[in-house]
Amino acid sequence: MMQLGKCGMCKLIGALVIIGALNWGLIGAFHYDAVVHLLGGIPKAVRITYILVGLAGLISLFSCFKQCPCCKTQAK
């Protein structure tokens, strides 16, 4: 989860995961893809956004098992 003591990269990853989760919620509930709606005129931007959200999800998954090195040094 995002906390005040987290590094900037962890906050960015958390924000991307939240954006992805909200977008999937909108797709499931209303068949509305907010990413395509906001960036629809730029197909490469949509694809890059999906890739970044996917990578953020993988990093979040791995962070369940191991703490970010930047955040580990900040905690000391």
**Long-range contacts of 2-6, Cβ-Cβ distance < 8 Å, separation of 24 or more:** 5/71, 5/74, 5/75, 6/68, 6/71
Mean pLDDT of 46-61: 95
> Which pLDDT score is estimated for 39?
94
Mean pLDDT of 62-76: 75
CA distance 22 to 17: 9
The type of residue at 31 is H
pLDDT tens digits, one per residue of 26-50: 999 999 999 999 998 899 999 999 9
Specify the higher pLDDT residue, 19 or 63.
19
* pLDDT of 57 strictly over 90: yes
- pTM for the model stands at 0.80
CA distance 10 to 15: 9
Three-state DSSP state, 66:
coil
Q: In the chain, what are the domain boundaries?
A: 8-75
